[in-house]
């Protein structure tokens, strides 16, 4: 709860303390929920942006994997968000998903399966709508980003 409502500069360190693996230059907006029961099952790369009220679930009881050892459970990653990913506001990311490097998940989308690198997805369930020519980062010019989009 503290991470959800704390100032921007404290959110990442609090989630790291909870066990979420988080890279560098990650921005987590307000009211973001990262898995409450198994935060260590989430891996977030570098230069990732998570929009307001995004929810990332790494565990749904009925879909929980069966582990053969404690070591296997300790090293398990359910949700992997790779480098340079931009997730818009109000998105839901479900367990057993990888969001590939440089991808964009548009506002309100529900990610139920893997997203290929450099792909824009939208909807419920999220479907590819475009291939990206460049990642959408904090210093990307919108005009340049839009020119590099190729519809699917």
61 is catalytic: yes
Say which residue the tokens 């921005």 belong to. Answer: 27
Q: What's the rounded Cα separation, in Å, for the pair 114 and 99?
A: 6
Active-site position among 7, 61, 66, 143: 61
Find the angle CA(114)-CA(101)-CA(137) to the nearest 5 degrees.
Answer: 125
Q: Residue 26 phi/psi, 5° resolution?
A: -95, 135
Displacement of CA 56 from its chain's centroid (Å): 7
- What are the residue numbers of the active site? 61
């Amino acid at each position: 709860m503290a991470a959800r409502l704390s100032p921007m500069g404290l959110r990442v360190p609090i989630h790291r303390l909870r066990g979420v693996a988080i890279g560098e230059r990650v921005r987590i907006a307000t009211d973001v929920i990262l898995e409450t029961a198994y935060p260590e099952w989430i891996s977030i790369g570098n230069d990732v942006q998570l929009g307001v009220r995004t929810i990332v679930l790494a565990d749904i009881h009925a879909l929980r994997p069966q582990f053969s050892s404690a070591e296997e459970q300790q090293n398990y990653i359910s949700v992997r968000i790779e480098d340079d990913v931009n997730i818009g506001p109000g998105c839901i990311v479900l367990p057993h998903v990888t969001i590939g490097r440089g991808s964009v998940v548009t506002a309100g989308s529900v990610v139920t399966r893997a997203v290929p690198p450099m792909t824009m997805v939208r909807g419920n369930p999220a479907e590819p709508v475009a291939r990206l020519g460049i990642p959408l980062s904090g210093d990307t010019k919108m005009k340049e980003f839009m020119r590099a989009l190729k519809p699917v």
